[in-house]
């Protein structure tokens, strides 16, 4: 955000305290390229127009580990279909998580839906390529929490086509 002032960023969350924290950071740092939407993810396709979004970042979502809650995972095919409604044709999706189950589930979902997998790793901080250092330069609250506990951070980059 601070380093990419030519890009716009929109944070989406249902929890007001997370929106407030991000908004306060944006205001305090005079970031005019940052906005926030407070909504349930179920309504995400109504927040953007067709072909409006270049990239989607899914960072440390609730992994919904129970099999009965698979449809709540943000990389479930139902959500991927919603994202397609506003993601540009060659738009990309990033997933960062500490959860091995969500990481493996997402890789399987990508494979089953024949989506282009660009790159992935089960240990981002060990395997991050030199040309992708931006992936480790910005850490969310949860990323700091999990790396502080010694958890490996998993990362997936793929396209929705």
- Residue 88: inside a domain, yes or no? yes
- Whether 119 and 66 share a structural domain: yes
- Whether 113 and 155 share a structural domain: yes
| pLDDT of 4 above 70 | no
Q: Give the other-Cβ count within 10 Å of 102's Cβ.
A: 23
pLDDT for res 28: 95
| pLDDT of 29 above 80 | yes
Please provide residue 143's backbone torsions phi and psi, each rounded to the nearest 5 degrees.
-65, -45
- Residue 121: inside a domain, yes or no? yes
Q: How far apart are CA 131 and CA 51, in angstroms?
A: 27
- Cβ pair 158, 118 in contact under 8 A: yes
Active site residue 62: yes
Looking at the chain, the whole-number percentage of residues with pLDDT higher than 70 is 98
Q: What is the mean pLDDT of residues 140-148?
A: 90
Domain of 105, CATH number, reads 3.40.50.150
- Residue 44: inside a domain, yes or no? no
- Whether 65 and 118 share a structural domain: yes
Give the chain's domain count. Answer: 2
Please provide residue 115's backbone torsions phi and psi, each rounded to the nearest 5 degrees.
-90, 145
Q: Exactly one of 62, 98, 131, 152 is catalytic; which is it?
A: 62
* pLDDT tens by residue, 58-113: 999 999 999 899 999 999 999 999 999 999 998 999 999 999 999 999 999 999 99
Where residue 2 falls among pLDDT bands split at 50, 70, 90? low
Parent domain of 99: 50-159
| pLDDT of 1 above 70 | no
80: part of which helix (H) or strand (E)? helix 77-84
- Whether 84 and 130 share a structural domain: yes
- Whether 78 and 142 share a structural domain: yes
- Whether 107 and 149 share a structural domain: yes
């Amino acid at each position: 955000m601070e380093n990419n002032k030519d890009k716009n960023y929109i944070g989406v969350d249902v929890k007001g305290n997370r929106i407030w924290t991000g908004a306060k950071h944006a205001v305090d740092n005079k970031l005019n390229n940052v906005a926030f939407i407070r909504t349930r993810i179920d309504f995400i396709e109504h927040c953007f127009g067709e072909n409006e979004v270049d990239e989607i970042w899914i960072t440390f979502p609730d992994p919904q580990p129970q099999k009965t809650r698979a449809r709540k995972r943000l990389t479930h095919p139902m959500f991927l279909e919603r994202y397609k409604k506003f993601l540009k044709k060659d738009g990309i999706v990033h997933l960062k998580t500490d959860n091995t189950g969500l990481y493996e589930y997402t890789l399987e979902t990508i494979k089953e839906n024949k989506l282009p997998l660009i790159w992935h790793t089960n240990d981002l901080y060990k395997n991050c390529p030199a040309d992708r250092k931006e992936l480790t330069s910005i850490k969310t609250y949860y990323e700091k929490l999990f790396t502080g506990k010694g958890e490996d951070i998993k990362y997936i980059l793929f396209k929705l086509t």
